[in-house]
Chains A and B, each alone.
Chain A
Amino acid sequence: MKRYVMTIDLRRCVGCQTCTAACKSTNATPPGIQWRRVLDLETGEFPDVRRTFLPIACMHCGNPPCEQVCPTKATTKRADGLVAIDYDLCIGCANCVMACPYDARSIVHESHFAYGDTPMPSEAKRFDPSRVGVSMKCTFCVDRIDEAAVTGRTPGVHPEVTPACVNSCISGAMQFGDIEDSESNVSRLLGETQHYRMHEELGTEPSVYYIWDQS
């Protein structure tokens, strides 16, 4: 059984938002909707200040609170670890938006575009009406993961079947792969580094691991 996870090396991230933009570009999210973004956080007081960049998105939890509160079973946990939304089943009730401790979900009630009401050709080409009025979030580029199952290529190794954010990351902060495979890039990396998961204490069992230097 596979379980896909993402690792994010905070020692590498420079907060450039390339992953944010790549996600928006690949997934054609409307203005203001970011399935992932990089937080710019500051701690301390001048002159003893730390500024940290923290990429966040859906954590594809092993025990997802969003799934538990979904009244229509639109949100489901897949066998490979991905948390998926069936737009046909979603009624846009926003229970999941409220339940998610990672602020990872959003709902667009009306379609809008980068420069007003009229879509540009690139927006018109990819406008998906089924995403209006339903809950949306990072999918781990599920279509690519599904393609991997068909083609036999390996997510995290072959770019065609790797999430767009991971492909785009110019600092090499993000990796993706099967944590159940002890030889995968993510398993090796997690074996060599210090890491944590966000809000692990909530029992959500996130699939995103943050690598950092605790010292």
Chain B
Amino acid sequence: MAVVQSKSVKHVPTFCYNCVSGPDFMSVKVEDGVATDIEPNFAAAEVHPAKGKVCVKAYGLVQKTYNPNRILSPMKRTNPKKGRNEDPGFVAISWEEALDIVAQKLNAARAKGLVDAAGLPRVAVSLGHGGTPSNYMGTFPAFLAAWGAVDYSFGSGQGVKCVHSEHLYGEFWHRGFTVAADTPNARYVIAVGANVDVTGGPCAVIRHADARVRGYKRVQVEPHLTVTGACSAEWVPIRPKTDPAFLFALIHVLVCEHGLTKLDIPFLRDRTASPYLVAPDGLYLRDPQSGKPLIWDEVSGAAVTHDTPGAQPAVAGCYRVAHAVVVDADKERREYADVEGKTAYEMLARHIEKYTPEWAETICDVKAATIRRIANEYLENASIGATIDIDGKTLPLRPVAVTLGKSVNNGWGAYECCWARTVLAALVGALENPGGLVGTTVRLNKSRDNRHLGVAPGEDGFMVQYFNPTSKEDWQTEPATRNLHQSLVPIVGHNGAWSQALGPTQLAWMFQGERPDDWTMPMPTLPEVWIVYRSNPSISFWDTRRLAEIAARFPFMACVAYTVDETNYMADVLLPEATDLESTQMIRMGGTKYMEQFWDYKGVVLRQKAVEPQGDARDFTWITTELAKRTNLLDPYVKAINKGISGVSPLKGEGYDFSLDPAGELAPEKIWDAVCRAASLTLSGGREEHDLDWFREHGFYAVPMSRLEWYLTPTMEKHGLRYELPYQERLLRIGRELGNRLHEKNMNWWDEQLSEYAALPEWHDVPARWVRNLERSGAKIEDFPFWLLTTKSMQYHAGGNAGIEMMHEVALNLRGHAGVIMNAKTAASLGIADGDRVEVRSHIGATYGKAALVQGIRPDTLVIIGQFDHWAQPFAKDLDIPSLNTIAPMALDLTDATGSGADIVRVAVRRVEVPA
């Protein structure tokens, strides 16, 4: 037998969007109809910041296609009992039967009404990994839009355990659902746990590599020396979850040691609320007639409204105001005469005075001199006063940023961190200016493809916000979703497609079991139909063993399945989809997107069928259309497609009409051909129309975009708006109002979370919250002396590709990848040698793996990479890799006000004997 020369070889352009940092370009080598290799698509090198390349994950897609463990025909469960120890007894069925079963359940639910007696949707949908499924699920969003009320409460971990607080506060302050350094212009970056060389995708990797060669400095502040830390100029091994103290001390150095004269006064004066006068009760002093916040005008020597033409606002200081009002929660108005008002900046300066580097050293275990030096370097590199020309416009150049990583920017302490880093940017004028800190996309506001369109005048000189109401009249007393996002989290809003999914999704899981004693809302029900796509919460959430037990109680579950996994093990029906290399879809690319995906181009890119689907797997768009037919939703489904919900452009626009007819042909190719034509015409301003065949050959279509779109500050300036910084008067008021509503319903179980609504965040002992959690369970802190953290790896996108053999092989080249990373000296003191099998135990359970001894980790910290501990998924279940998710609790007291938690838990570690 010898290698047979292939008769036909083709290279098929397509994209990879397996992690949130996509899409990236690639080409599939197909030999005689078999996909054999993944290559960069160098035809995209000019438009793509990563020069047409994909990361390591994409090279596993050939194995993903031909993995013998795939589900290749629809299946139904034959064992009515569900549970980890119950063999589902899946048997193959026809597509006809599978779709009929699912449609019958959907129709039965719909016949009773979209919501049940508790006011909750009868249908729930779970989508995995940071929204990436939407780049693979074809027209399914159009089906969901056609359906109506759907509950997205049952999350798989994205959001609440990802970078949740950053999503919410970032979007609130500067339309930054994800926030990044403007790396192409950066000179100095303080990365607090931000593992961007792992999570930022090829765009971030090449940009930071270029920046290193250029001579930028990145200081990595984190308990464990990650890949990104390894590539940084300096590693600062901070104590876990004490990051707010470190950041507060940086602000202290800038504000209290350098002072206002060294900061960006014009930015603070004109683009922030620093000049707003604050009453002794902590609320803004307002003009009695207009209700507008007051500032002190240095020209007239009087308090005037913030928008008074010609006024020269004082940034610092205290001023006497003859007559003013404040407006408290529930519009309670109080009058003041001859009252002292301090500017918001003054409030900040006094507030931050106590947070010295010396104080922070005792909290963070980082030397005061180090903190002070870093603050000084940050200020020096900010080059206040410098400018840069971008596409003919002169903008400030402030090449410094603080970036935050997972478990720093979510869970308790994250509000403080998000606030501090955004204030640090504002103090030097680096917020949304070249070189500085930029938001890259919006998901809680519209339009999701242009965050500048989400900026419009709102209250008090700030941009408009769409908070969930907390007023007596409009507060949602009976939650419409099982994660209570509209009732509990005002800031997550109701304006974006993702608002619901960004609610406190652990509550949806937890409250199916126990609820607080003083719960007075309707009892949450289980959805009658649960659809799961590219999501495995039984591996990726917290307390995953318990979560799997809850999942087993859902009455009907249909999973779009790749292989059997720990969640679809409980399914009633499995629907095999055509995977990445076998299916068709067009998505938007470029512009500004997640992470460091801010490009010089924007456009569309096609994922296409490089090879025929294996077995009887079907394109998800075909599956969706069949469901729409069987649920009599074809008309609204097609209307939604025509509106552009599942594509990238409406199918009807100025000078073109490719609208689909519900009675006509609706094959996936027909749908995507219409999308291709509409998209190319829209992007080209009507000059070019390209059909599906054109895109199959070329892969993508892009048009240039100005870098001015990267920065929000010019847009803020155009609207005459201020960033709502540094003082959080609105949050303070809203928190009080929310408290009123809950207390009126005799509910106090959210009181701890209400404490987060502070105008200026105070340090509280953040790590102690996890200690108290275990003590409440009856455990003793001395029995759990270590912090267990997790970190991502580039080889894996959450747990999604854990069944790919090649990823496992290459990931093992990285230290500690499949084990428990711990400090070598600590391990020696416990009699643990490298490679020993160890048990890592928290107060809720244990996980097992091999010890990987390193120096680059704090002695009090352990790290387990990724999301593993599979027990059902073929190949992955045999890896014997531990997981933090198995032993990290889901708990109300570990949930912050935004509804997020963090991947951290107190643990013990010990060597275990391996049976002979």
Contact = CB atoms under 8 A, between A and B. Distances in A.
Interface of A: 9, 11-12, 14-18, 20-22, 24-26, 28, 31-32, 34, 37-40, 42, 44-47, 49-53, 114-116, 118, 120-123, 125-130, 159, 164, 167-173
Contact of B854 (A39, A42, A116, A173): A42
A47 B36 contact: no
Interface string B210-227: 101100000000000101
A152 B238 CA distance: 55
Interface of B: 1-3, 6, 31-32, 34-40, 42, 50-51, 53-56, 59-60, 62-63, 65-69, 197-198, 202, 205-206, 209-210, 212-213, 225, 227-231, 235, 237, 794-795, 805-807, 809-811, 813-815, 823-825, 854-859, 875
Contact of A159 (B37, B42, B809): B42
A47 B213 CA distance: 25
Contacts of A26: 37, 39
Given A51-B230, A115-B805, A170 B205 contact: yes
Given A17-B813, A25-B37, A52-B230, 10 more contacts: A14-B228, A21-B810, A24-B809, A34-B809, A37-B813, A46-B856, A51-B225, A120-B68, A122-B65, A171-B206
B169 to A, nearest CB: 29
A122 B856 contact: no
B225 A114 contact: no
A107 B606 CA distance: 41
Nearest to A131: B3
Contacts of A120: 63, 66-68
B40 A168 contact: yes
A121 B66 contact: yes
Contacts of A130: 2-3
Contacts of A49: 225, 235, 855-856
B67 A115 contact: yes
Given A16-B205, A115-B69, A120-B67, A31 B230 contact: no
Contacts of A40: 813-815
B773 to A, nearest CB: 28
B36 A28 contact: yes
A122 B825 contact: no
The prevalent SS among residues of A at the interface is: mixed
Contacts of B857: 46
B229 A51 contact: yes
Contacts of A24: 59, 806, 809-810
B797 to A, nearest CB: 13
Contacts of B807: 21
B63 A164 contact: no
Given A14-B209, A125-B6, A170-B202, A42 B815 contact: yes
A40 B814 CA distance: 6
B39 A164 contact: yes
Contact of A51 (B6, B806, B856): B856
Contact of A129 (B1, B50, B229): B1
Given A14-B197, A15-B227, A122-B66, A115 B875 contact: yes
Contacts of A121: 34, 66
Nearest to B226: A51
A187 to B, nearest CB: 18
Contacts of A22: 38-39, 59
CB-CB nearest 10 A-B residue pairs: A51-B230, A120-B66, A21-B59, A12-B209, A170-B202, A114-B805, A171-B209, A17-B810, A18-B56, A14-B197
Nearest to B196: A14
B212 A11 contact: yes
A51 B198 CA distance: 15
Given A11-B209, A11-B213, A118 B68 contact: yes
A159 B523 CA distance: 61
Taking each of B67, B813, B875, which has the highest tally of chain A beta carbons within 10 Å of its own beta carbon?
Answer: B813
B810 A171 contact: no
A44 B855 contact: yes
B810 A9 contact: no
B237 A21 contact: no
17 contacts: A9-B209, A15-B227, A16-B198, A18-B54, A21-B806, A21-B810, A31-B809, A37-B810, A37-B813, A46-B823, A46-B824, A46-B856, A47-B235, A51-B230, A125-B34, A172-B51, A173-B209
A120 B807 CA distance: 16
Contact of B53 (A17, A114, A170): A170
